[in-house]
Chains A and B, each alone.
Chain A
Amino acid sequence: AQKVTQAQTEISVVEKEDVTLDCVYETRDTTYYLFWYKQPPSGELVFLIRRNSFDEQNEISGRYSWNFQKSTSSFNFTITASQVVDSAVYFCALSEAGPGTYKYIFGTGTRLKVLA
């Protein structure tokens, strides 16, 4: 069955530290999509990135980078030189091809606290 695990419930770092948020997924499909969302204190989930199962290239966007490794079923998210504005809950999600293709499976989220 499909599943997304974010084992880190809460992480606290000091500003300017690098931090990695882990995401491990389970799926039997060969075609699937992985997403990361940020939920700031305001509550709205903000889309950060989508990655398909056929593209294992890592991606960098400013201070954000993502490491996708099919061999370990992981899609980890790193924030470099963290800032207080990065404080939020981050969710990883999985979407599979097949019946009910519109459904996401979300992880339980990781709360990141960046301290000044």
Chain B
Amino acid sequence: DVKVTQSSRYLVKRTGEKVFLECVQDMDHENMFWYRQDPGLGLRLIYFSYDVKMKEKGDIPEGYSVSREKKERFSLILESASTNQTSMYLCASSLIAGGPRETQYFGPGTRLLVL
């Protein structure tokens, strides 16, 4: 079974803090993704990565950066957290081989509250 884990289930941070969200997958997947989920908006892609040190902007990258130093780990960084970044953050991974038909497997999510 694919396992995607996220470092925290709940986080509370202050405005202006630097926030790190970590994601680890154990199935040797090339692709990794960060989404945020907000009521009424569904899931929106922030960044994705198809290889170590490679990254691509998603639909809402502003205010975020990412790091992928190892294949199994993909980090989302909020350089200076703001209240509008309060959200549920979901990490996912998938194989690259099948392209668009590959299933994405999700972690349990991190609920971030920025005060």
Contact = CB atoms under 8 A, between A and B. Distances in A.
B42 A106 contact: yes
Interface in B94-115: 94, 96, 99-109, 111
A108 B43 CA distance: 7
Q: How large is the interface on B (under 10, 10 to 19, 20 to 34, 35 or more residues)?
A: 20 to 34
Contacts of A97: 99-100
Interface of A: 6, 9, 31-33, 35, 37, 42-47, 50, 52, 91, 95-98, 100-104, 106-109
B77 interface: no
For the residues of A in contact with B, the DSSP-based class is: loop
Contact of B103 (A32, A44, A47, A109): A47
A44 B109 contact: yes
B98 to A, nearest CB: 9
B90 interface: yes
9 contacts: A31-B100, A33-B101, A43-B9, A43-B88, A44-B106, A96-B100, A97-B100, A102-B48, A102-B99
